[in-house]
Amino acid sequence: MSERAVAVEPTLQAAATAGLRAPAALALLLAVLSAALVGLGTAVGALGWEPLWDSGAAGAILWEIRLPRSAGAWLAGALLGLAGAVAQGLFRNALADPYLLGSATGASFGVSVLLVLLGASPAAAGWAARLGLTGAGFAGAVAAVLLTLLLARGVQHTLRLLLAGVIVGMVFGALTALVGFRHPEILRAMQAFLLGTTGFLGWSATGLLAAVFAACLLLGLACSPALDALALGESTARSLGVPLAATRTVLVGVMALATGAAVAQVGLIAFVGLVAPHLVRAATRPTHRWLLPLSALVGGVLLLGADVLARWALAPQELPVGVLTALLGGGYLLWRMHRRPA
Length of the chain: 342
- Within-domain flag for 3: no
Rounded to 5°, the CA angle 149-151-156 comes to 55
Q: Are 77 and 263 in contact (CB under 8 A)?
A: no
CA–CA separation, 256 and 103 (whole Å): 7
- Within-domain flag for 10: no
- Within-domain flag for 12: no
Question: What pLDDT score was predicted for residue 12?
Answer: 36
Question: What pLDDT score was predicted for residue 127?
Answer: 44
CA–CA separation, 46 and 215 (whole Å): 34
pLDDT in tens, the chain (342 residues): 444 333 434 443 444 444 556 888 899 999 999 999 998 888 876 666 666 555 556 666 777 888 899 999 999 999 999 999 999 998 888 888 888 888 888 888 888 888 888 765 544 444 444 556 677 888 888 888 889 888 888 667 777 888 888 899 899 989 988 988 888 888 777 877 788 888 888 888 899 899 999 999 999 999 999 898 888 887 888 888 888 888 888 988 898 889 888 888 888 888 899 999 989 998 888 889 999 999 999 999 999 999 988 888 776 778 888 888 888 887 877 887 777 665
Residue 45 β-bridge partners? 48
Question: What pLDDT score was predicted for residue 52?
Answer: 59
CA–CA separation, 310 and 12 (whole Å): 47
Instruction: Write the CATH number for 270.
Output: 1.10.3470.10
What domain range includes position 162?
Answer: 27-339
The neighbour count for residue 91, using CB atoms within 10 Å, is 20
Q: Are 269 and 80 in contact (CB under 8 A)?
A: yes
Q: Are 46 and 311 in contact (CB under 8 A)?
A: yes
Q: Nearest-CA neighbor of 41 among 312, 319, 323?
A: 312
CA–CA separation, 130 and 76 (whole Å): 17
- Within-domain flag for 13: no
Please state the φ and ψ torsions of residue 287, each to the nearest 5 degrees: -75, 175
- Within-domain flag for 21: no
Rounded to an integer, what is the distance from CA 58 to the centroid of its chain?
Answer: 31
pTM for this one? 0.84
- Within-domain flag for 60: yes
Q: Are 110 and 270 in contact (CB under 8 A)?
A: no
- Within-domain flag for 92: yes
For the chain, the three-class secondary structure string (H helix, E strand, C coil) is: CCHHHHHHHHHHHHHHHHHHHHHHHHHHHHHHHHHHHHHHHHHEECCEECCCCCCHHHHHHHHHHHHHHHHHHHHHHHHHHHHHHHHHHHHCCCCCCHHHHCHHHHHHHHHHHHHHHHCCCHHHHHHHHHHHHHHHHHHHHHHHHHHHHHHHCCCCCHHHHHHHHHHHHHHHHHHHHHHHHHCHHHHHHHHHHHHCCCCCCCHHHHHHHHHHHHHHHHHHHHCHHHHHHHCCCHHHHHHCCCCHHHHHHHHHHHHHHHHHHHHHHHCCCCCHHHHHHHHHHHHCCCCHHHHHHHHHHHHHHHHHHHHHHHHHCCCCCCCCHHHHHHHHHHHHHHHHHHHCCC
- Within-domain flag for 11: no
Residue type, 57: A
Please state the φ and ψ torsions of residue 172, each to the nearest 5 degrees: -70, -35
Residue type, 140: G
Q: Which residues contact 115 (CB under 8 A, 6 or more apart)?
A: 121, 133, 183, 186, 189, 190
Total domains present in the chain: 1
